Structures are given as structure tokens and as C-alpha cells.
Chain A
Amino acid sequence: MRYLPLNDEDRADMLARIGVSHIDALFADIPKAKRLEQDLDLPSRKTEMEVERVLSRLAAKNVAAGSVPFFVGAGAYKHHVPATVDHLIQRSEFLTSYTPYQPEISQGTLQTIFEFQTQVAGLTSMDAANASMYDGSTATVEAVAMAHRITKRRKAILSGGLHPHYAEVVGTYSAMSGDAVVVLPPDLFAAENLAGVVGDETSCVVVQNPDFFGNLRDLSGAAATCHAKGALLIAVFTEVVSLGLVKPPGAMGADIVAGEGQSIGNRLNFGGPYVGLFATKSKYLRQMPGRLCGETVDASGRRGFVLTLSTREQHIRRDKATSNICTNSGLASLAFSIHLTLLGDAGLRRLARVNHANAVALADRLAAVKGVKVLNETFFNEFTIKIAGDAAEVVRRMAEQGVLGGVPVSRLLPDKGLDDLILAASTEINTDADRVIYTKTLQGNLSC
């Protein structure tokens, strides 16, 4: 077997050194009746060529984003990732190293985490960011739990503009811990009144910007409402590129920011691995979940970096820890950081402008189609259209015709009477030709 260096002679020598005659002697603690006497009922080993054949056949059954006009978003976005990013994250020293528990021989990873934390804090306009969470949805759960710890209250209010998966995940965790959650009804036009629902027992309000339906939201009012009642505002985003062009949560009074970072540096990967971004104010630092990297000096006085404030974490605090997270999204956060280093402020702003321009161009084209209504006043690179027809059926038919034309809202919010809505996203990857095909294909599938 090509991955196993020992040969039978080695094995015999080693068994002799250990002082046993057969390998099974090393497994003697397994009750005899429970030992497998023969190999599992699974195929036997395959060559590299055979594995490539099997997996390439499976991959070929899927329609890849780059192969068709592609407008799918709703929390995961197809962006161009520079070749440099993927090359660098495949460096052995990044790809095959562990969590940096021995800082003297992990400064590469630690410095990149420190840079990542600084980038995320700058993007969100917050004081401090952690070394990453699994994804945006679980980062949101952690933010809610953190707000409960800070406020010593146990009721979260979730905006109707929050991604439905995120709301469901918060609901699951809260049901387990016995905390209360109020999920506001789907809020297509960013019109919900938070002042009416925030009370003295509210721990936090969770608002997404741009919201699930694509609307931009000024969070300042929500922040003021929360702070007047002693609650915290948690700002969520699922499209991090928007922060290149849209007012950051820290500038609108957010106390905790949780978001999805997939859009920068990471591919779609059918939903994972992604990278959760998490930031907060300095005063809440010690209630933060996840790893933190901090600056220090070594015995010779040289600058260096270490994991720090670990008394918050599970390996020290066990059931009293701020979170159970251990493994995070290390390599995905590195990809994020490298891509952002290539972009810089200037590059990110331009990338965000191109996204917005493409989405505006798409919205303008679609608005001119009979049977299509663009619902948004404001948006970044995604918006909601109302169509004459069943959205799921129309999107399915468009796929058969070679266009991946967005996400039917009913895929995430079934049984809500929202069956005629499609979320359409347009990033820098789309050309004007893509938009023409999209518009034409959509038009051809409408029932008017």
C-alpha cells in the first residue's frame, strides 16, 4: 500500500523488539468476541489511477459554476480566486501543520492568524477578531451564546432578514440550552419594527446586512434600540465582499459581528469548508469564543506570536468554556487572508464596485421583463425578484436549459407563501453575455 512505509520484514523485527509474536497480540484488550476476524465488506485497495477514475466520474455528473451562466447566491458566492492563493495554501508548511501549540516552530501560522485578525477587525470596524469559526451560521450561534453570557439574559430576537439556515441553527442550539428565541416573520422589504419587540429580557437582536433578500439595512436604529434596553446588537453578513462598499457594522453600533468569509479566497465546495468570521468590542474580549493569537516577545526579546487568553477555551475550562470549538477553519482563513492581502483596500473596493455594477446591470435587465418584478430598493450583489410562475420549477427548468439562475426562496422558506420569489446574485464572474442569456431564459420559462 503506497501510503504505508513498513514492509513485512520491518513488521517482524518490530514485533520481536516489542516481544510479541503476532500483531493481534497488540489488540488483546479488545474482547475476543468483538474482534473482526476478516476484512470489512468493502472493496480492496485502489491505485492512484483507479481512484482518479472513480472520482472524476462522480465530479462529471455535477454542473460546475464556471461551466454555465451562474447567478446562485443566498449565503455562498462564486468569486474568482487568484491562482496564487491556492498555490500558497498548498505549501506543505501551511497545509500539513497542526494547530500552533508549539509557537517556536509555528510562527508562520501564528503570524498569518495575527494578520487575519487585524484584517477582519479592519473590515468590520470592530476592536478585535478571533482566529475563525466553522462558518457564518455557527459563528452566529456563538455570538448569541456570547450575548447571553454578557447580558445574563437568555432571549434572542432574530430579524426576518436573517438567512433561514442561520435562524434554524440558532433555534436548534437554543432549544438544547433552554434559551428563548423569537424569529420574526420573513421581512422582504427590510421594514420590520424592532423597537416594538425588544424588551428588558432581550439579550440580543440578530440582524443581517445585506439581508437574506439582498436589502441593505442601516443598523444604527437597531443598535440604539438594543442599547436603550441593555441588549446587544449582533450584526451578521453572508457576503463579506460587500464590506468593500457598504458601511461596516462597527460604524453602525454593532456589539458582536458574525459572518461568512467564504467569498474571499474560498471556492463554493458545495457548502463547505467555509470560514466563520467573528469580531467584537474590546470590553467583551474575555467572553469571546475560539482561538486568539496575540503578540509577545521571545527569550531574546524578538517579536513573536502565540495563542493567548486560552483560559476561555474548552481544553482549560471544560464544561465552563465559552465554546466547545477546537478545530476551526485554519486553512480557509489563510486563503481568506492571502486573497485580502492581494486585494488591499483599493482592490477590495474595486472588486465590490464591479459586483455591485454587475448586479445593478442584471436588475435593470430583469426589471424590463414582463412578469418579473425586482423587489429591492437597495442591494449589493444580490436581490429578490418576484416572477409570474413557481420559482422552484422555473429555476429547475432553467438549469435544464444550461443556466443556473438563482435560488428559489421556497428552497429555504417552504410553506410561507413565498413560492414566486428568486434570489439572483451577480458577482465579478458574470459577463454581459451571461446576463442576456439569463434574462432570455428566464423570460422563456415564465407563465405570461
Chain B
Amino acid sequence: MLMQQKFDPQAVGSEAPVAKTFTGNRGLETEEGLIFETGRPENTGVDLDEPLPFKHRLGSLERQEPAGLPGLSEPESMRHYVRLSRLNYAIDAGIYPLGSCTMKHNPRLNEAMARLPGFADIHPLQPQSTVQGALELIAELAHWLMVMTGMDAVAMSPRAGAHGEACGMMAIKAAIAAKGEDQARKIVLVPESAHGTNPASAAVAGFEVRTVPARPDGTLDPAEVMRRLGPDAAAIMLTNPNTCGLFEKDVVELAALVHEAGAYFYCDGANFNAIMGKTRPGDLGVDAMHINLHKTFSTPHGGGGPGAGPVVLSSRLAPFAPVPFLRRDKGGFHLVEHKSEAPDSFGRIAAFHGQMGMFVRAFAYMLSHGADGLRQAAEDAVLNANYVRACLKDLMSGPFGDRLCLHEVLFDETWLRPTGLTTVDFAKAMIDEGFHPMTIYFPLVVHGAMLIEPTESESKASLDLFIAALRDLALAAKRGETERFVGAPYLAPRRRLDETRAARNPILKWKKPGG
């Protein structure tokens, strides 16, 4: 049941006879020092025997200066990290509705499979005859990705989404160069709602970025694109479904325009979760698209990574794919690792062969779902987002009016404006209610954006509680209970943190007091 009475931050914990504890701890919530404050360099939590005396081969390069690394015994280490972990929100503990991030359930089966010694303890440069099972898995995963997207090839080596974007744009650059047009075609069109990695990746591949505005309904206008498609155009980078949670309904026409202009269509596949099994990017005219295995295929986000960003390619771009890639012959699977074997390849973008640990997890996820489950997951993700939208639209404003969305629903700040509160205030108050806030202030095209992506992992009961809490907060905001918001969060391990101070005087490592 939800508390409906007026919120009084002063009353929080007022039943306790102690306002402030001696330790700073509050029950299960504990304060934890840095390892540099609690550990000592002469201690260690790893038992290993000193080697027998031997004659070293270090020349004159033996390390003299200590690294200053404290060691903690095993129980101390365990406690340090367990205590720290309890200061984090996690998808395992509750809804994590970060729009554009696709925080869905991370099955532990996938973790167990990735840790099989036959996957976790194999070396990328072992003889290929000793890793045929690994190569077969990569080939199978590649097959699934190509079938799901309707594309002709896939580059498996990109290590994250942004790396995949750079990879796709490099393939485009190589294709343009092969036609002798690399001096002429340098412009990449990027909608202003795009994720920041898109323009940054285009720049990495040596392109110049031109921004394209969206029309009032949140999608791209083919006429606006056409106006910018000249003989200098190399490509468009389009996120579809876009970062407003909308399907670009003119995508087929856009693709045709881009191709007629002699340019290529890069699709940011960050939001593929919404459309898998419903439509195929290859059928929409896409030339290259990265897939975030850590979003759509549920490899864990791990507090910031690692990810994996395979890039599917059309037949026009396939010859330019980076090394390494797989070939199958009568002797089994074979890695093509050098440009000498693949003269059109634009080269290598990372050491070794890709994020195998992520491939195993993603493949386990795909096998578990199957074609039917993947489609159902996309449908449930879209259903959940629209349910949230339908239940909040009378209180919160959407920038594009009352319209359906795909996997994520976008609200803006307009409804909050009369209250004097901002999006960040609203988000921080959600923390006190036990929720991780939605993505805020992205996409940049909307003032005070609040982008909610519940994913298919939420039950109806979970959504109903989330919706009820947001309604309660929205009504409180409208009633003028500003204190509940501007000082929030009150109940998290930390109150609002001073980010200006952190940036003005950067302290990026621990220093010995007085040292």
C-alpha cells in the first residue's frame, strides 16, 4: 500500500531516539572507508610462496618505487566490497527504467555458461584447431544476428556500441574510397535527437557532422534530409526506433533518398529491442547497424561495461568488413586475421577477435527465447512502455502529444513548469520512493526530457506500483510540496552531490593526508 499522507522530510526517521549515530552507519546502510585508509601495503590476501633463489633477468630495470597499493586479507576484502555493493541500485533489486539503456533482467544461466572453462579459459591465439567450439559459437551467433536483422554479414569484433558505430562508419568510408569518392563525400547527417556517440563516432571515422532537425512529431522529415543530401554526403546515421521512442515511419523513403544520393544508411541499433521479430532493418534499407548485446541481448551492464557491439552489414558493405572474420571450409572454422587475406577489408579495430564472454551470454539468451520468445519480448517491452504512458499521460506532458510509442515513453518538463520544480528534482524524489530514475535531459531535443524504458522484464504489479508512485509524486508537485523534491533524495546513502565542486577542483585519486 502507498502512503498517501503529506510528505514531511523532517519526519523521516523521527521515531528514532538518535538523530546521528556514532559510526555514521544507519542500520544496514554502512559507511565504508577507502582501501587506502584501511589496508596496508605490507599486508596481502593472496597466499603464494616466494620462489627459490634465482638469477633475475631484469637488467637494470627492477622496480624501486612502491606502487602504494594497500593489501587486504580475504575477509576484509569481502566485507569492503559487499558493504560498497549495498550502496548501489540494481536491476536485480527493482525496476531500472533508464530510457535508451534497456535495463532488462540478466539471467544467471548466461553467467554460468560464460564461465565454462571451455569458453572462459581459452586463449585468443591458441591454435585454431583447439578452439573450434568457440568459433562455432561465434558463427552461430552471427547467423542469428543476420537472420534477425535481414542483413548479409556481421562484424563481430566491436567491443561496445560506440565502437560498433565507428566500425560501421569506417566500412562506409572504405566503400566510398573504393569508388574513388572519399575526397568528395565527407558529410554525415545526424538527427539532433541522436545519442552523442553518433556524431563522435562519425568524427572518429574522419567525417564532418551536419545536424538534421526533427519535425514536430519527433520523427525525421524526408524533405529536410533531402535538402542536405548533396554530392558531398557520405551517410546518414539514424537511430530507429529513435531516442524519443518512436519508429521513424518514413524510414523506407529516407533510405531510398540516401541511396539515390550515393550515400549510405547507418542505423543506430541501440533500440533494436523494440522491433526484434517485428521487422528487419535489412528490409528497411539499412547498410550498417550495430547491436548492443548489453542492451537487447541482456549481457549485464556491470556498472558501465563491458558491452559488445557487433555490426551487421549489407551486401554493399560486407566486402569492407574489418578483420578478423570467420570462414568455414572442410577443415572446420578458420579466422581470417590479416588484410593480406582480405584485401578490401578496412583493417583491424581491436586486438584479438571480440567480446567472447559477451557472445556466450547473448547466445544463451537468444537460445532461451527462440524466435517466438524474442518477438514476445519486443511486444511486451512495447506494451509495458505504452501502459506506463497511458497511466501517466493525464498528469505528465509528452512533447509530441497523445501518441503511441515503442519501447520507451518520453515526457518533458512542460507540466512541471508551473510548480517551479525541474526534471532533476522530480527524478531525485523518485529515489526516495525506492526507484532508479528514468533517463533525464536526454534526448536533448526536448526540454527537461524524462525517458522511461521499463523493458519486458517488469510485471504488471511492478509497473502498477511504479505508476502509482509517480502519480503520487506528480500530484505532490502540483500541490506545491516543493520540499519533497528540491532537497531530495533524503533517504539514499548520499544526499545530492556537489558536481560543480568535483569539476572545479578535480580529485581523481586518493592522496595520503598531508602527503
Contacts and interface: CB of A to CB of B under 8 A. Distances in A.
Nearest to B298: A3
A27 B55 contact: no
Interface in B96-149: 96, 98, 101, 103, 105-107, 109, 111-127, 129-134, 136-137, 144, 147-148
Interface stretch (A13-21, A195-203, A227-235): A13-21
Contacts of B376: 1, 4
A376 B67 CA distance: 27
Contacts of A136: 351
A267 B305 contact: no
Contact of B391 (A15, A17, A292, A338): A17
A264 to B, nearest CB: 11
A180 interface: no
B325 to A, nearest CB: 14
B129 A396 contact: yes
A404 B123 contact: yes
Nearest to B98: A98
A341 B43 CA distance: 10
A294 B506 contact: yes
B88 A332 contact: no
A344 B498 contact: no
A76 B123 contact: yes
Given A118-B509, A291-B304, A296 B501 contact: yes
Nearest to A299: B495
Contacts of B201: 324
Interface stretch (B157-165, B222-230, B414-422, B471-479): B157-165
Most interface-central of B41, B107, B130, B496 (chain A CB within 10 A): B130
A324 B162 contact: yes
B304 A135 contact: no
A102 interface: yes
Contacts of A304: 494, 497
Interface in B25-69: 32, 34-36, 39-46, 48-52, 54-69
Given A36-B277, A326-B161, A347 B306 contact: no
B347 A111 contact: no
B292 to A, nearest CB: 8
B89 A246 contact: no
A3 B457 contact: yes
A98 B103 contact: yes
Contacts of A371: none
A419 interface: no
A177 B503 CA distance: 30
A299 B121 contact: no
Interface in A72-129: 72, 74-76, 78, 82, 84, 86, 88-109, 111-115, 117-119, 121-123, 125, 128-129
B275 A94 contact: no
Contact of A63 (B50, B96, B122, B279): B122
Contacts of B368: 1-3, 45-46, 48, 51
A316 B197 CA distance: 10
B509 to A, nearest CB: 4
A417 interface: no
A128 B197 CA distance: 24
A309 interface: yes
A296 B363 contact: no
A109 B105 CA distance: 19
B65 A97 contact: no
Contacts of B327: none
A86 B292 CA distance: 24
B314 interface: no
A107 B507 contact: no
A433 interface: no
Contacts of B103: 96, 98
A350 B495 contact: no
Given A97-B301, A218-B60, A247-B64, A6 B460 contact: yes
Contacts of A15: 383
A82 B121 contact: no
A178 B206 contact: yes
A106 to B, nearest CB: 6
Nearest to B107: A3
Nearest to B53: A357
A362 B456 CA distance: 54
A252 to B, nearest CB: 9
Contacts of A25: 404
Nearest to B347: A172
B70 interface: yes
Interface stretch (B10-18, B73-81, B259-267): B73-81
Given A272-B159, A353-B50, A18 B390 contact: yes
A29 B508 contact: no
B278 A102 contact: no
Interface string A9-52: 01101110111100101111111001110011111111010111
B342 to A, nearest CB: 13
Most interface-central of A42, A132, A331, A351 (chain B CB within 10 A): A42
B347 A342 contact: no
Contacts of A291: 304
Nearest to A350: B48
Contacts of B21: none
Contact of B351 (A19, A117, A169, A216): A169
A411 B125 contact: yes
Most interface-central of B41, B51, B72, B384 (chain A CB within 10 A): B51
A302 interface: yes
A330 B302 CA distance: 6
Given A17-B391, A58-B136, A62-B134, A344 B57 contact: no
A293 B386 contact: no
A46 B144 CA distance: 15
B124 A76 contact: yes
Contacts of B93: 92-93
B46 A55 contact: no
Contacts of A271: 124, 351-354, 356
A224 interface: no
Most interface-central of B302, B383, B386 (chain A CB within 10 A): B302
B221 to A, nearest CB: 15
A315 interface: yes
A95 B284 CA distance: 35
Nearest to B355: A272
A191 interface: no
Contacts of B279: 27, 30, 34-36
Contact of A328 (B89, B96, B306): B306
Contacts of A379: 57
B502 A428 contact: no
A166 B351 CA distance: 6
B143 to A, nearest CB: 9
A95 to B, nearest CB: 5
A334 B302 contact: yes
A302 B32 CA distance: 12
A273 interface: yes
Nearest to B113: A55
A175 interface: yes
Contacts of A27: 247, 275, 278-279, 382, 406
Contacts of A84: 45, 74, 77-78
Contact of A137 (B208, B350, B501): B350
A115 B203 CA distance: 32
Contact of A343 (B44, B161, B363, B495): B44
A298 B200 contact: no
Contacts of B308: 272-273
Interface in B417-462: 427-428, 431, 436-437, 442, 456-460, 462
Contacts of A342: 44-46, 71-72, 74, 77
15 contacts: A20-B404, A26-B404, A29-B248, A40-B374, A93-B90, A95-B111, A111-B87, A267-B121, A268-B123, A269-B122, A272-B308, A273-B306, A273-B358, A320-B203, A399-B126
Given A31-B251, A319-B209, 11 more contacts: A3-B369, A5-B462, A18-B386, A28-B404, A42-B148, A165-B351, A248-B65, A272-B356, A273-B355, A294-B502, A344-B42
